[in-house]
Amino acid sequence: MDISREDRRQLAERRRNAEQAEADAASDALYAQCVEEVKRELANDAGRFRICPYKACRRSRRCAGPQLLCHALYRRPLMSFALEQIVIDDLYWEVIEQELEAEAEAEAEAAAESGEGAP
Ligand SMILES: [Zn+2]
């Protein structure tokens, strides 16, 4: 069967789009994790678990509820919205950098290993 050049091009594009969608989903998931981590940390530092309606938070003396009520509950905000965004972004990019470093290290190790067997 002859596959047209246009079909090949479109198939490659579909694959690229699928990869991009996967990468976007992974970015979103990581960002959501960073948001959660920062909010729980802020709430923990402020001792919000003491007044949280979730028993899990009061019992474990840290934000442990299924939702971030410790953070949401406030008599006063834990941090300005703008500052919180900066902290979250910093964490996000820190994680990405660590991932890239780990990736580069793994690649270097693999290259060194495959090089060891060579004459
Ligand atoms: Zn809580």
For the chain, give me the number of helices (H) and strands (E)? 4, 0
Q: How confident is the model at residue 76 (pLDDT cuts 50, 70, 90)?
A: confident
Domain positions in the chain = 5-116
Q: How far is CA 66 from the centre of its chain?
A: 18
Q: How far is CA 64 from the centre of its chain?
A: 19
Compute the distance from residue 43 Cα to the ligand 1 centre, in Å.
Answer: 8
Instruction: Decide: pTM greater than 0.75.
Output: yes
- The alpha carbon of residue 13 and the mean position of all alpha carbons in its chain are separated, in whole angstroms, by 27
Q: Mean pLDDT, to the nearest integer, of 34-53? A: 95
Q: Which residues contact 45 (CB under 8 A, 6 or more apart)?
A: 78
The alpha carbon of 62 and the centre of ligand 1 are apart by a number of angstroms equal to: 7
Q: What is the pLDDT of residue 116?
A: 73
CB under 5 Å of ion ligand 1: residues: 52, 54, 57, 63, 65, 69-70
Q: Is the pLDDT of residue 117 over 70?
A: no
Q: Is 65 exposed, middle or buried (0-12, 13-18, 19+ CB in 10 A)?
A: buried
- Ligand 1 centroid to 63 CA: how many Å? 4
DSSP at 46: T
Position 58 scores a pLDDT of 96
Indicate if the pLDDT at residue 118 is higher than 60.
no
**Contact indicator for 87, 79 with CB cutoff of 8 Å:** yes
